[in-house]
Amino acid sequence: MKVMILAAGRGERMGALTKNCPKPLLKVAGRALIEHHLVTLKRQGFTEFVINVAYLGEQIKAALGNGEQWGVHIEYSDEGEQALETGGGIFKALPLLGKEPFLVVNADVWTDFPFASLRTKVDKGIHLVLVNNPEHNKNGDFCIQDGVVRLADKERYTYSGLGVFNPDVFKQHSSGVFPLAPMIRQLITKDQVSGELYGGEWVDVGTPDRLADLNVKLQQG
């Protein structure tokens, strides 16, 4: 299974930290956020990666190269100056991702999720990993009932930025800028989204404070 790491965002909430450095290269415990993913995923048997880049993307390419130093293979989907958002970014990368379901991972999250378990989660169009709601998303995004993701107003959880996507779900779209969330909601109404709730370690590293807190946590072991 190939892995797409979403790394094209500008990271504006990081303020001065991302003025001259793309968010995926910000370091925690001495290692870039995106490198944590590469190391963890390689350890769990994933070796083929597609990374989309836009803002300061040349820095990411220079830092990671072809992935040889981690024993993996990296290809890049370069969106130029205009990032295509999550949906548009994945759509542009489809030729590199192939015809089989692929794993999508947001570069700006940190987690100890067992990625290898997702290799079998390909029965529906999309499989999402949900987590308990963090302080910055108290209302959550989606419900989950018996392994199926719903839009109901019952207890909702937060989409973690981890999921398995069948490339066929993008057939209705065309190239351009579009977010992923509306597409997911549409597929939920068609009963095409499965999911699971993960209760382990997960951090959306979206602000300087969260980055600093995670750095302290990892340094303390």
Average pLDDT of the residues in 196-204: 97
CA distance to 21, 42, 83, 217, per residue, from 53 (Å): 13, 21, 8, 28
CATH code, 57 = 3.90.550.10
Buried b (16+ CB within 10 A) or exposed e, 76-114: bbebeeebbbbbbbbbbbbebbeeebbbbbbbbbbbebe
pLDDT band with cut points at 50, 70 and 90 for residue 154: confident
Pick from 23, 94, 92: nearest CA to 63: 23
pLDDT band with cut points at 50, 70 and 90 for residue 11: confident
> Is the pLDDT at 186 greater than 90, yes or no?
yes
pLDDT, tens digit, 9 for 90 and up, residues 173-185: 988 999 999 999 9
The residue segments making up the domain with residue 20 are 3-219
pLDDT at 153: 79
pLDDT, tens digit, 9 for 90 and up, residues 90-132: 999 999 999 999 999 999 999 999 999 999 999 999 999 999 9
pLDDT, tens digit, 9 for 90 and up, residues 63-93: 999 999 999 999 999 999 889 999 999 999 9
* Whole-angstrom distance, CA of residue 214 vs CA of residue 160: 16
- DSSP letters of 45-114? T--EEEEEE-TTHHHHHHHHTTSGGGT-EEEEEE-TTS--HHHHHHHHHHHHH-SS-EEEEETTEEE---
| Overall number of domains in the chain | 1
